[in-house]
């Protein structure tokens, strides 16, 4: 996987399995009184976030600390980016402080890939525009495997604003490598037909009941208003056609897992009854974010 982690598309199934297994070995650490392992003592991780984040940024920081690395987090609004410094200059400045890894989130698709060509420091992509969010797909896969023996052959419905979702793209790449039957669903402008060509096993439906039928996993996505320039939907209408409600769950497998990367918008893409139901593993995803990011940091920093 090179020196950093830029996307799921570049990883083999075997590399993904190694990370997921490593993450599983880190899960119990979360429940111990002493949550610190000595594996990355003295290493420095810099978190550089040009976009809002609660889960991803915090869990990268916690993951680094759990492994005894030092962690520094910077947000664009409080940095010299707001004084007009270019992206390359900002990154070179940070690299001059000799971090061992830079974790970055940026609104431009491909930003970390571009910087990785110039910087000596390994970069972990924490979300680039509408392109990829690799650690999210890994923590989603970890969460599925905590509840099922295998991913292979499952039917997964991904519902919502697929066009603008890096979470969807990373998950499509990952699930496809495991032979999953993937159904993408949402309003036509948010689920363009070409997405079916992204990877083998992907189909499209514009009807939520059809998409959910016999699903093993339902992944809900937020409507990414910040990335939509032409399309916008009245919240009530979107919820009526594409919001996940209790009656939908009866169409899926009885033990269906309901997932959402967060932040959730209750009453917009998901009802509170479903988000808080027994079928929801949304908070398990959050918890797994730490073990998976520990596994990724360990891999990138000890390679």
Judged by CB, which is closer to ligand NCD: 222, or 268?
222
Smallest distance from ligand NCD to CB 226, Å = 8
Q: Is 56 a catalytic residue?
A: yes
Chain position whose Cβ is nearest to ligand NCD: 222
Angle at 143 (CA atoms; ends 141, 147), nearest 5 degrees:
110
Judged by CB, which is closer to ligand NCD: 43, or 139?
139
Judged by CB, which is closer to ligand NCD: 43, or 271?
271
Q: Is 24 a catalytic residue?
A: no
Smallest distance from ligand NCD to CB 165, Å = 7
Return residues touching ligand NCD (CB under 6 A). 55-56, 127, 133, 136, 166-167, 222, 224, 261-262
Out of 55, 113, 148, 279, pick the active-site residue: 55
Cα 61 to chain center, whole Å? 16
Judged by CB, which is closer to ligand NCD: 205, or 224?
224
Out of 43, 56, 143, 222, pick the active-site residue: 56
Q: Is 245 a catalytic residue?
A: no
Residues 6+ apart with CB under 8 A from 173: 7, 8, 9, 132, 137, 198, 199
Smallest distance from ligand NCD to CB 228, Å = 12
Q: Is 105 a catalytic residue?
A: yes
Out of 83, 117, 193, 229, pick the active-site residue: 83
Q: What Å distances lie between residue 171 and 115, 157, 262, CA to CA?
A: 23, 11, 15
Judged by CB, which is closer to ligand NCD: 119, or 167?
167
Out of 106, 133, 173, 248, pick the active-site residue: 133
Smallest distance from ligand NCD to CB 97, Å = 26
Judged by CB, which is closer to ligand NCD: 66, or 166?
166
Smallest distance from ligand NCD to CB 161, Å = 8
Q: Is 133 a catalytic residue?
A: yes
Structure tokens at 194: 């070409």
Out of 43, 105, 173, 268, pick the active-site residue: 105
Smallest distance from ligand NCD to CB 105, Å = 7
Q: Which residues are catalytic?
A: 55-56, 83, 105, 133
């Amino acid at each position: 996987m090179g020196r950093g982690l830029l996307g799921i598309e570049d990883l083999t199934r075997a590399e993904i399995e190694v990370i997921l297994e490593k993450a599983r070995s880190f899960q119990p650490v979360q429940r111990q009184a002493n949550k610190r392992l000595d594996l990355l003592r003295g290493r420095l991780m810099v978190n550089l976030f040009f976009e809002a984040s609660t889960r991803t940024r915090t869990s990268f920081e916690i993951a680094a600390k759990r492994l005894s690395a030092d962690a520094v987090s910077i947000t664009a609004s409080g940095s010299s980016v707001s004084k007009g410094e270019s992206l390359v200059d900002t990154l070179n400045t940070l690299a001059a402080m000799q971090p061992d890894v830079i974790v970055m989130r940026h609104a431009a698709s491909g930003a970390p890939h571009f910087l990785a060509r110039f910087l000596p420091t390994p970069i972990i992509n924490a979300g680039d525009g509408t392109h990829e969010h690799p650690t999210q797909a890994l923590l989603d896969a970890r969460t599925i495997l905590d509840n099922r023996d295998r991913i292979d052959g499952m039917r997964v419905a991904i519902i919502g604003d697929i066009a603008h979702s890096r979470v969807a793209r990373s998950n499509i790449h990952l699930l496809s490598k495991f032979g999953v039957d993937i159904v993408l669903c949402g309003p036509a402008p948010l689920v363009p037909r070409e997405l079916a060509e992204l990877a083998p096993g992907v189909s499209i439906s514009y009807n939520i009941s059809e998409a959910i039928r016999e699903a093993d996993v339902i992944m809900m996505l937020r409507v990414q208003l910040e990335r939509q320039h032409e399309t916008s939907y009245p919240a009530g209408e979107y919820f009526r056609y594409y919001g996940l409600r209790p009656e939908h769950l009866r169409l899926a497998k009885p033990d269906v897992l309901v997932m959402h990367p967060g932040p959730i918008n209750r009453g917009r893409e998901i009802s509170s009854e479903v988000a808080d139901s027994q079928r929801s593993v949304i908070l398990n995803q959050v918890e797994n974010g730490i073990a998976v990011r520990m596994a990724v940091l360990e891999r990138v920093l000890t390679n």
